[in-house]
Amino acid sequence: MTLRTIDSLGPLAGKRVVVRCDLNVPLQDGAITDDGRVRASVPTLDALVAQGARVIVVSHLGRPDGAPEAKYSLAPVAARLDELLDASVAFATDTVGADAAAKVAALGDGEVLVLENLRFNPGETAKDDAERGAFAAQLAEFADVVVSDGFGVVHRKQASVYDLEQLRPSAAGLLIAAELDVLDRLTENPERPYAVVLGGSKVSDKLGVIEHLLPRVDTLLIGGGMLFTFLAAQGHKVGSSLLEADQIDTVKRYLSDAEERGVTIVLPTDVVVAASFSADADHVVAPADAIEETPFGASGLGLDIGPNTAATFAGYIRDSRTVFWNGPMGVFELAPFAAGTRAVADALTEVDGLSVVGGGDSAAAVRQLGFADDQFGHISTGGGASLEFLEGKHLPGLEVLGWQ
């Protein structure tokens, strides 16, 4: 497989390089609460600055409806980049308007400019090819070359991810190259034993991943809200826990398929069951096959894997040479239901091999629980993009960079 890299663009000193990053970070009262994606963009930006490029950073943040919204401004991100980069960072208050044009024109070698949120422009996410292309053409006016480094958006056919890269010489940044290297190791000849840990709320979000990875893994560990659909497929009652009844037959097929392939699917043996979805709700640990036998009866909610399950999962993880984890084991945002996720994260830090945290809620969880990024082999910046890659889907933002 081939991928155009920055080296293919030739010397970049004095050239205007538009870099599509993924700086879609969580904000609270205008402050960044998790700057992981900002820090992940630094190696590529520093490398371009070191070459003397004139670096123009573009990204989206949140889901504004094609018009400016102050709460989605990239101004706090530009300020954080100014602290992290070996260069001063300016900020334009629009994307392709007068302020952006003036500041691009004034940009010197080795300087960095962040443009305002791409999604303040309806053309960025337009389904209409012509509208999307017209916005990409406006962005291209600022660029001699384009570097695509927002791995979290490569599964989107959007103006800055797909169309712009066809209008100027383009290549992948260091972050995309690193993500692809890790994902390739997860799908092509992974070191064994190979364990995949899946959590999160819905089985339906992970169907493609299970389908694609089942022939490749040795062990599949199931936690999070999706575990209750697996328990229901085994005939157990799950109270008021999250359940996708329409996926029960699919899950039964996965269980049968895994048995035929010799793949071990590990389901929870105990669950933390609560009276309600609240941090101060009464809760007990119950056997996974006796959820409705708790004091809460059929109204009980399973909100985390239990301690025995957490210990079992940790054992499988530590004994593996390759581990991919996507999705929390419980409602980690509420302290009484974070233990399962913490146990999985802790075990991943002890893997003698490749340990991968699959972005999204999993990345947020490990940081919220106090783990450092360098305790893991790799923390992906692209939850949805990572999953689609592992499903074997075509990703337009990669294909436009030569990835086949």
**333 annotated as ligand-binding:** yes
Q: Which residues contact 120 (CB under 8 A, 6 or more apart)?
A: 64, 66, 67, 68, 69, 72, 94, 95
Asked if 202 is an active-site residue, the reply is yes
**39 annotated as ligand-binding:** no
**256 annotated as ligand-binding:** no
Q: Shortest CA distance to 18 belongs to which of 166, 143, 137?
A: 143
Asked if 37 is an active-site residue, the reply is yes
Whether 345 and 366 have beta carbons less than 8 Å apart is answered as yes
3-class DSSP string for the chain: CCCCEHHHHCCCCCCEEEEECCCCCCEECCEECCCHHHHHHHHHHHHHHHCCCEEEEECCCCCCCCCCCHHHCCHHHHHHHHHHCCCCEEECCCCCCHHHHHHHHCCCCCCEEECCCHHHCHHHCCCCHHHHHHHHHHHHCCCCEEEECCHHHCCCCCHHHHHHHHHCCEEECHHHHHHHHHHHHHHCCCCCCEEEEECCCCCCCCHHHHHHHCCCCCEEEECCCCHHHHHHHCCCCCCCCCCCHHHHHHHHHHHHHHHHHCCEEECCCEEEEECCCCCCCCEEEEECCCHHHCCCHHHCEEEEECHHHHHHHHHHHHCCCEEEEECCCCCCCCHHHCHHHHHHHHHHCCCCCEEEECCHHHHHHHHHCCCCHHHCCEECCCHHHHHHHHCCCCCHHHHCCCCC
- In one-letter notation, the amino acid at residue 68 is P
Q: Tokens 């001063």 correspond to what residue?
A: 88
**192 annotated as ligand-binding:** no
- In one-letter notation, the amino acid at residue 117 is N
**24 annotated as ligand-binding:** yes
CA distance 98 to 273: 57
**253 annotated as ligand-binding:** no
**23 annotated as ligand-binding:** yes
**360 annotated as ligand-binding:** yes
**174 annotated as ligand-binding:** no
**CB atoms near residue 36 (< 10 Å):** 18
Asked if 36 is an active-site residue, the reply is no
**CB atoms near residue 253 (< 10 Å):** 12
**63 annotated as ligand-binding:** yes
Asked if 71 is an active-site residue, the reply is no
- Which residue among 202, 237, 318, 321 is the active-site one? 202
**20 annotated as ligand-binding:** no
**119 annotated as ligand-binding:** yes
- Which residue among 97, 208, 377, 384 is the active-site one? 384
- Which residue among 36, 225, 340, 360 is the active-site one? 360
**355 annotated as ligand-binding:** no
- Which residue among 4, 15, 16, 37 is the active-site one? 37
Enumerate the known binding-site residues for (2R)-3-phosphoglycerate. 37, 119, 156
Enumerate the known binding-site residues. 22-24, 37, 60-63, 119, 156, 206, 302, 333, 359-362
What residues are annotated to the active site? 37, 202, 360, 384
Enumerate the known binding-site residues for ATP. 206, 302, 333, 359-362
